[in-house]
Amino acid sequence: MKLKHIASFLLASFVIVSCDDTTDGIGTSLTDKFDQLEITTDTFNVTTQSISANAVLSRNTSGYVGKFKDPETGTDITADFMTQFSVLEDFNFPESGSIVSKEAGKIYADSCEIRLFHENNVGDTLAPMHLTMYELNKPIEDNKDYYTSFNPITEGYVRSSGLTIGKTYTLADIQSSTSKKANEDHSPCIRIPLNQSYTDKDDKTYKNYGSYVMNKYYESPSNFKNSYKFIHNVIPGFYFKADGGLGSIAKIYNSILYVYFRMQYKDSVYNRIATFGGTQEVMQTTHITNDANALRQLINDNTGTYLKTPAGIFTQMTLPVENIISGHEKDSINTAKITLQRINNTTTSTYPLEAPKKILMIPADSVQTFFQHHNFTNYKNSFVATLSNNGYTFNNIGPMIRMMYATKQSGMASANWNKVVIIPVTTTDMTIQTGGYSASYPTGVYNDMSIRSTKLSGGNVPVKLTVIYTRFK
C-alpha cells in the first residue's frame, strides 16, 4: 500500500512539472486551497437499548457443552453440541486376516471411546457435571444454515433405540495422574467409553461400537473412501447434551473417535488405533438455551445496555441521521466517531465472564443476511471495533450515515432505516506476503459463540457521536 501511495505521489509530481516549466507557485496554490477549506465539528446524542439476540447462526468449528450461571447478571446458560466424524480419504484397516481379536470367526475391536478435547473453559473446573451422548439416526446435512435454537432431539435426528451413554465428569481431569498432566503432549479431555454391546439399525449386534465400525469397513470399504460416504453409511454423528450439574461450560475444540485393535505382522502382535476426527470439513452445531426470564430483566434495565453471548443480548443504537446531515448536505463527513464504554463489573466472583473482544456494527435490517451471506466488514455499512481502554471505538461510521440518509431520501427506507445493531463477533483473516511487504485480508466474520458478557454505558443516558465536517468556502 505504501508503494502505491509513493507511486501516486511521483506520478502527480511528474504531471505538475510537465504542465509548467517552473515550480513557482506550487506551494502557494496548495496553501490557498487549504485556506479555502472550512472545518466544523458537532456532537450528537445516540440512544441505545438492549435487544434479544434470539437464535444466531451456529457456524463454528468448536462445540460447547455444560451449564453455567453468570455471576454478574445471574443468568443461566446451557450449551449442547453435535458433531460428525471425518475419515481420511482412502482410509483402510489392515487385511481382515491379520486382525487378532476374533470371536467365532467374527472380528471385534478390543475397545472404543470418544474423547472431547477442551480448552478456554468457563467456570469451576472441579464442578461435577453430567452429559448424555446420543447417536444420530441420520446425518445433519450441510446444505442449509443451522441456528443455536436447532435441537437434534426435537427435530427427530436422534435414533430412538440407538447408543445412549451418560457421563459424569469434571474439566479438571482428576482421573489423570499428576505426571501425566505434566506431559507436554497431555490434552485435557472428557472420555466416553463405547465398550458395551451395540445393536445397529439393521438389528445386528456387535461386541462394542468399535466392532461395528470395523465390520462395516470389511463389509464395504468404499464407505470409508471419503467423509460424505462415511457419514451417510457408517456414522451419522453424535449429540452431546448437558443434563446435570451447574458450574462450567467446556469449549470442545476437537472430538475424536478411537477404535483400538490388535493385528499380527509376521511373528509379532501389534496394538493399533484407528481415529476419526470432528474436523472443519464436517458438520458441527451448538444448541444454546438461555434463561429467558433473566434475559428479559436485563433487556428492561435502562441503566445501560448489555452484550451477552452466545445468542443472548445485543445492543441496538438509533442514529440521528437527519440531524447529522441537516445543514451539511453538501459537506464531507471526515469522521463520525462513537465510543461504547464498558461499565465495570462490581460483582465479586471467582469466575467472572470476560467481555467480548470484538464487536460488529451493522444496519438492523442486515442482522440475519450478513452472516447468511458470509459477508465481510467493508467499513461502508459494516464495521468492527476491538476492546481497548475498557471500551469499543468506531472511528468513522460516516459512510453508513450517508447511505442511510440517501435511502431515506429515496423513499425506500424501512422502519429501522436509522438503526444499527452491535453484535459480538470473532474474525478470521489471511496474511499475504509480497516481497518485503505483507497485507492482511479478512476471510470471515462469525457470531461469537464463546461465553462472554459485558454492560455498556447508555440506556437512559445517550452516547455521544462526534462528527467532523469539511467544506470548501
Per-residue pLDDT of 185-223, as tens digits, reads: 679 999 999 999 999 999 999 999 999 999 999 999 999
Phi, psi for residue 193 in degrees, rounded to 5 = -70, 140
> Residue 83's pLDDT band (boundaries 50, 70, 90)?
very high
Sign of CA dihedral 172, 173, 174, 177: negative
Whether pLDDT at 6 is above 80: no
Q: Give the three-state DSSP class for 299.
A: helix
pLDDT tens profile 115-136: 999 999 999 999 999 999 999 9
pTM to 2 decimal places:
0.88
Q: What pLDDT, on a 0 to 100 scale, did the predictor assign at position 399?
A: 98
Output the CA torsion 297→303→307→312 (10° steps): 10
Helices (H), 339-394: 367-372
What's the rounded mean pLDDT across residues 299-306? 97
How far apart are the C-alpha atoms of 258 and 111, rounded to whole Å? 8
Q: What pLDDT, on a 0 to 100 scale, did the predictor assign at position 182?
A: 58
What's the rounded mean pLDDT across residues 40-44? 98
Q: What pLDDT, on a 0 to 100 scale, did the predictor assign at position 440?
A: 84
Whether pLDDT at 4 is above 60: no
Cβ-in-10-Å burial (0-12, 13-18, 19+) of 55 comes to: middle
Helices (H), 327-468: 367-372, 398-410
What nine digits make up the cell of 26? 506550487
Q: Give the three-state DSSP class for 57.
A: strand
How far apart are the C-alpha atoms of 215 and 387, rounded to whole Å? 53
Do 172 and 125 contact (CB within 8 A), yes or no?
yes
> Residue 436's pLDDT band (boundaries 50, 70, 90)?
confident
Q: Which has the higher per-residue pLDDT, 185 or 17?
A: 185
Task: Say what percent of the chain tops pLDDT 90.
Answer: 80
Task: Say what percent of the chain tops pLDDT 70.
Answer: 90
Whether pLDDT at 472 is above 90: no
What nine digits make up the cell of 420? 444499527
Q: What pLDDT, on a 0 to 100 scale, did the predictor assign at position 181?
A: 55
What's the rounded mean pLDDT across residues 393-404? 98
Q: What pLDDT, on a 0 to 100 scale, did the predictor assign at position 185?
A: 65
CB-based contacts of 400, cutoff 8 Å, min separation 6: 363, 380, 381, 383, 420
What nine digits make up the cell of 331? 459537506
Residue 217 identity: Y
